[in-house]
Structure 1
Amino acid sequence: MNSTWFRRFTTVTGDGPRLVCFPHAGGSATAFKDLTHALPGHVDVVCVQYPGRQDRYREEPFTALTALAEAVAEELARELAAGGARPYALFGHSMGSLVAFETARLLARDGLPGPQRLFVSGRGAPDTPNDVPYHLYDDADVLADVRRLGGTDQAMLEDPDILELVMPALRADYGALGTYRWQAGEPIDSPVTALIGDSDPMVNERQARTWAAHTTGAFDLKVFPGGHFYLFDHLGEVAEALSDGLLTEAAAS
């Protein structure tokens, strides 16, 4: 796969299904490094590296969520259209859930094989009302929200040199979230599993269940102890949920 857009954190490529992971706002591919090692070795885990962060920090980050999804879908489509691609699933956390969903919709629009399953974490469905003006946030607002949600080494936020590197991506991602508008369309065929923390200030169980309306397949909800970044405290359990979801689809196919 295109090494500009995707990262692997294992030296051996699994021979099972591929799991494509989409990071949260301000996040990078390395957000899923520990999860990669918690998953069974046969799962080929690739993590999306958005422009504007880490080794892509010199590139302009996307400021529109649908444009970001289009770019990722284009990269995935090349492999799917070439034929012989292994079965795959998509997993997104927070903003990454929306990017993964829009990516799946774009692939379906182009008649390409959809994911075996879509895993969406820490986010309500795309048509969940959003009255938070993220696109109007200044730097102080963005940093206050990042601190509120946790999941980031708080000491990093006090380092001016690190902030200089991460703020462009954070600004762009918050802008993309604030301007994102759901465009109604056909539900996807892929089964959907939603995962949330039971004390996440951004999404509750009722909101997570709204994903069921966006698939013609099965829907499942997994609730874990914790807040918005519950997954980093429950890597084993999250990896098990992802693995079980992939095995379910493999058995059905």
Structure 2
Amino acid sequence: MTTVLFVPGAWLARAFYEPFLQALTVAGHDVRYASYPSLDPKDPCTTDCHADAKAIAAVLHRLVEDEGKDVLLFLHSYAGMPGAAAATGLAKSERAQEGKVGGVIGLLFLGAFVVPEGLSCAGLQGGNLPPWILLDQPSTNLNIADDPINNFAADVDPALARSLIANLKPHATLSFTSPQPHPAWADESFGGLLAFIVTTNDRAVPKEAQFGMMTATEQPWVIKEILSSHCGPFLNRVQETVALTREIIDRFL
């Protein structure tokens, strides 16, 4: 059985994703979760993208090296940056050549950032974060998202979207302004093992930006589209997202 290791987007606590994680579990998947320190951080001055990648890698190494699991790494939004770095050196094909069991069978990005090594999330956007990211709120070196329902879930029934509001946390700005560590998607061992679920009605990370980031990698991608906002896949498109995840796992296997 393939293990799905899910990594959340910025600002979003685990509780927001629970309906989706439960649906994946009910569908027969072994589901795990990796958090990272820049989300609601203890010290926003130390929680950069590298620290986040290190935290995700710790979970991934336990699954692959200690438990011998085959892992699909599922990355939402900002998680595409530290998550891609965390997978470096853990491709299943690479480990098999070394006579080792387990490994990452592929990377799945959903409305996520695909950023070249050395460039930051802000740098990818011309050096500035979008104006709906409210800097130094609720305090210095933190940020929050303005009008989250409009930016993340405009296509979702307001009653259902309340869970989004209830589970938003501050995020460390340093994670958005620090450089991308080496991403596994750039490695030959992940050739043909990259997938992207494009959220076509996304106001936070527009569809055109998602395709642009993929094109810039000069790598082949398995591309699926979902008629959804940035967070809709986990609110009102749960079963569709589960089905697409299953398709991608089957493709990688």
Aligned to 1:153: 162
Q: Which range moved further: 177-186 or 123-132?
A: 177-186
Q: Which range moved further: 195-204 or 21-30?
A: 195-204
Correspondence for 1:46 among 29, 32, 39: 32
Aligned to 1:89: 72
Name the % identity.
17
Q: CA deviation at 1:153?
A: 3.0
Q: CA deviation at 1:60?
A: 4.4
Aligned to 1:105: 88
Amino acid at match of 2:14: A
Q: Is the 8 A contact 1:38 1:239 kept in 2?
A: yes
Q: Is the 8 A contact 2:63 2:69 kept in 1?
A: no
Q: How does 1:117-128 map to 2 (within 5 A)?
A: 117-127=106-116
**Alignment: residue pair count:** 218
Partners of 2:183 and 2:52 lie apart in 1 by 18
Residues 243/101 of structure 1: CA separation in 2 closer, same or farther (3 Å cut): same
Q: Is the 8 A contact 2:37 2:52 kept in 1?
A: no
Structure 1 residues 63-114: Cα deviation after superposition (integer angstroms, max 9, x where no partner): 21122111221332234233x5121110011011222211112546xx7564
Structure 1 residues 25-58: Cα deviation after superposition (integer angstroms, max 9, x where no partner): 01223333111232254310111233476xxx78
Aligned to 2:238: 235
Partners of 2:240 and 2:183 lie apart in 1 by 33
Aligned to 1:8: none
Partners of 1:248 and 1:38 lie apart in 2 by 20
Q: Which range moved further: 95-104 or 141-150?
A: 141-150
Amino acid at match of 1:47: Y
Amino acid at match of 2:221: F
Residues 71/124 of structure 1: CA separation in 2 closer, same or farther (3 Å cut): closer
Alignment of 1:76 onto 2:60: yes
Residues 235/178 of structure 1: CA separation in 2 closer, same or farther (3 Å cut): same
Structure 1 residues 111-132: Cα deviation after superposition (integer angstroms, max 9, x where no partner): 7564212110112421382225
The structure showing larger relative contact order (alpha-carbon pairs under 8 Å, at least 6 residues apart) is 2
Q: Gaps (5+ residues) in structure 1?
A: 1-15
Larger fraction in helix? 1
Residues 215/240 of structure 1: CA separation in 2 closer, same or farther (3 Å cut): farther
Partners of 2:85 and 2:181 lie apart in 1 by 10
If the length of structure 1 is used for normalisation, what is the TM-score? 0.70
If the length of structure 2 is used for normalisation, what is the TM-score? 0.70
Q: Gaps (5+ residues) in structure 2?
A: 96-101, 154-160
For the residue of structure 1 that corresponds to 2:87, the secondary structure is helix
